[in-house]
Amino acid sequence: MERMDVLVIGAGFSGLRALHSLREAGFAVKVIDAADDIGGVWHTNRYPGARCDVESYDYSYMFSSALEQEWRWSERYATQPEILRYIHHVAERFDLRRDIILDTCVTSAQFDDALGRWMVTTERGEVYDAQYLVLAVGQLSTTKRPCIPGIACFEGRVIHSAEWPRDEVDFEGKSVGIIGTGSSGVQMTPVIAQKARRLTVFQRTANFSIPAANAPVSEEEDRKVKANYAARRRQALDSPSGLGFVPNGTSVLDAAPDERTEVLEAAWNRLGFGFALAYKDILLNQASNDIVADFIRAKIAAQVDDPATCALLTPTCFPFGTKRPSVDSGYWATFNRDNVELVDIRSAPITKVSAQGVHTSNAVYPLDILIFATGFDAFTGSLLRIEFSARGSTLKDKWAAGPVTYLGLGTEGFPNMFVLVGPGSPSLLSNVLLSAEQQVDWLRDLLVHARAAGVATIEPTAKAEREWVIHVNERSRETLYPKAASYYVGAEVEGKPRVFMPYSGGVRAYRRILEDVARRGYEGFHLRTA
Ligand code: N01
């Protein structure tokens, strides 16, 4: 049995950052991951067109200014291969691999109350003994595939966007179908359309999408960012979403129509995911949101030639931004191509898959390749796949009505267990990498404090947890987010409890709360000495 101070589960961005920072602080740390290499979702989401929806300079580690200065991003929105190269570079540069165990799937973890330690068991039966568990399992890493009758009979190839094969998929001369029009479907559609003989996109819900305005990063731009990197990071830490620009502090409703159009045009052409911050109340006020949603609908109309296709592609049933909008490169115009067809599976649902292809209630679509871009069991899927138990209860039971946490970091009854960028934290409502780093820094300070004070176990109090859950819900009700059937509320999986999961108070508010809690001696946690 291997013993360590901290076992981190997950070798993606947040797990690697936890390894580096906790090891630097003098803890014996190991990271464990089921995959055959590091990178988390960036290791597995290799579909064509995969790239980040946050600008590369913001979606990169901030813990090392030397790293910031030496890494050269080639594009404003990095592609998946470039991001994976960056992750590998970081692992080499900071000698992380020696503490990473790959190809090892954790199946259960049991807290030994007498010892104050976690016993973590893998699929192969190995046991790891750790004082602290850090769950860096990702919010979008348990894939979701609809159970369609007949799928096993399909004679073509079936691929999930997040389980993309390592070898290149040849689309040349093929009929390809994509089910799903979230970020993955929206990113891959224009790329596959250029290669496939025929592309059929099966859409259940039309989605908002903002142009990536991607471009190569010039030498001058790179120099400029690097000369002011610290200020850009401060700005990001002080922003609602963790992005490195100053958000507009005015209301959509206070702007004159001409000025509003000018502001929205500028944001549309430059901000990508940050478009939602073009005004301060786009996600807070329905009337403001309606104006902005109409602006986007007009953009779709200007790009899609066929009125019927345009009507289907136009989102109408939820406020803009309440489902995470996609950031695309030529999505709408792709539907003007002769080899691309949009199929509305809301009005004519998929009934089965046969050997030849997909059947809907009114047509058959012969296919060579069927792609599921159907997303994930978000937030809790990867956490609840592992059987965590402590003091006679399991996490699955405790979270049966939805996840409850204190600060998104821990849950009462499960001492010495910490979650990174999970439910109850800004997570997917923010630049996830920045949010992960923010949490890791805070957690490192907590563990250093505990070590110095001879603390054996750290556990949220029931009261602090109750109050945090209330706070998370109150903050969500100040926004429009709860109006959509999104993965933020658990609507993406049938039967999943409908609770609002991320913290919508923003990155800055969350940071202030964390700082405050630390200043008050980690208020809300029981720190028990041995
Ligand atoms: O998944 P999604 P995704 N039958 O859940 C449809 C991040 N990401 O992989 O809306 C038919 O958004 C579903 O339809 P509906 C990013 O945070 C980032 O695209 O449920 N259709 C929807 O259209 C993103 O938000 C990047 O009606 C079904 C789609 O499948 C998150 O990952 C790139 C269905 C799923 O959309 C998830 O994105 C990619 C069914 N049974 C992803 N079930 C970057 O840019 C689901 N759908 C960094």
Q: Which amino acid is at 7?
A: L
- The half-sphere exposure of 111 on its side-chain side, counting CA atoms within 13 A, is 24
How far is residue 482's CA from residue 501's CA, in Å, rounded to a whole number? 10
How far is residue 116's CA from residue 457's CA, in Å, rounded to a whole number? 6
Dihedral Cα 312, 318, 319, 325, nearest 10 deg: -70
Find out whether 242 and 58 touch, Cβ atoms under 8 Å. Answer: yes
Instruction: Take atom 36 of ligand 1 and give the residue whose Cα is closest.
Output: 182
Find out whether 425 and 135 touch, Cβ atoms under 8 Å. Answer: no
Q: Is 79 in the pocket of ligand 1 (CB under 6 A)?
A: no
Ligand 1 probe mutation, 204, 324, 352, 429, most atoms within 8 A of CB: 204
**Tokens linked to 482:** 């709860």
Find out whether 19 and 94 touch, Cβ atoms under 8 Å. Answer: no
Q: Is 454 in the pocket of ligand 1 (CB under 6 A)?
A: no
Neighbours of 465 (CB within 10 A): 21
Phi and psi of 273, rounded to 5°? -55, -30
**In this predicted structure, what is the pLDDT of residue 244?**
82
Considering only CA atoms, which of 406, 418, 500, 515 is closest in space to residue 14?
A: 418
Q: Which amino acid is at 6?
A: V
Instruction: Take atom 12 of ligand 1 and give the residue whose Cα is closest.
Output: 182
Ligand 1 probe mutation, 374, 376, 487, most atoms within 8 A of CB: 374
Rounded to 10 deg, the angle between the 13-24 and 80-93 helix axes is 10
The greatest distance separating any two alpha carbons of the chain, rounded to the nearest whole angstrom, comes to 70
pLDDT tens string 299-354: 999 999 999 999 999 999 999 999 999 999 999 999 999 999 999 999 999 999 99
How far is residue 294's CA from residue 118's CA, in Å, rounded to a whole number? 52
**Which residues of the chain fall below pLDDT 70?**
none
Mean pLDDT of the chain: 97
Find out whether 389 and 398 touch, Cβ atoms under 8 Å. Answer: no
Considering only CA atoms, which of 123, 200, 207, 202 is closest in space to residue 367?
A: 200
**In this predicted structure, what is the pLDDT of residue 272?**
87
Residues 6+ apart with CB under 8 A from 328: 186, 187, 190, 209, 210, 211, 212
Considering only CA atoms, which of 207, 485, 178, 205 is closest in space to residue 345?
A: 205
Q: Is 185 in the pocket of ligand 1 (CB under 6 A)?
A: yes
DSSP reduced 3-state for 257: helix
Ligand 1 centre distance from Cα of residue 183 (Å): 6
pLDDT tens string 125-142: 999 999 999 999 999 999
DSSP reduced 3-state for 279: coil
Beta strands in 348-432 (DSSP E): 350-353, 357-360, 364-366, 369-372, 387-390, 393-394, 417-419
Ligand 1 centre distance from Cα of residue 372 (Å): 9
Instruction: Please identify which residue in the block is written with the tokens 């005004």.
Output: 279
323 CA closest ligand 1 atom index: 25
- State the sign of the Cα–Cα–Cα–Cα dihedral 36, 42, 44, 48: negative
Q: Is 205 in the pocket of ligand 1 (CB under 6 A)?
A: yes
**Tokens linked to 380:** 């809790």
Considering only CA atoms, which of 199, 193, 201, 179 is closest in space to residue 343?
A: 201
**Tokens linked to 64:** 């090392």
Alpha helix positions (H), 118-250: 183-193, 219-227, 229-237
Residues 6+ apart with CB under 8 A from 480: 283, 284, 285, 286, 289, 319, 321, 322
Alpha helix positions (H), 46-128: 65-70, 80-93
Ligand 1 probe mutation, 147, 184, 365, 493, most atoms within 8 A of CB: 184
**In this predicted structure, what is the pLDDT of residue 229?**
97
Tell me the sheet residues that pair with 326.
209
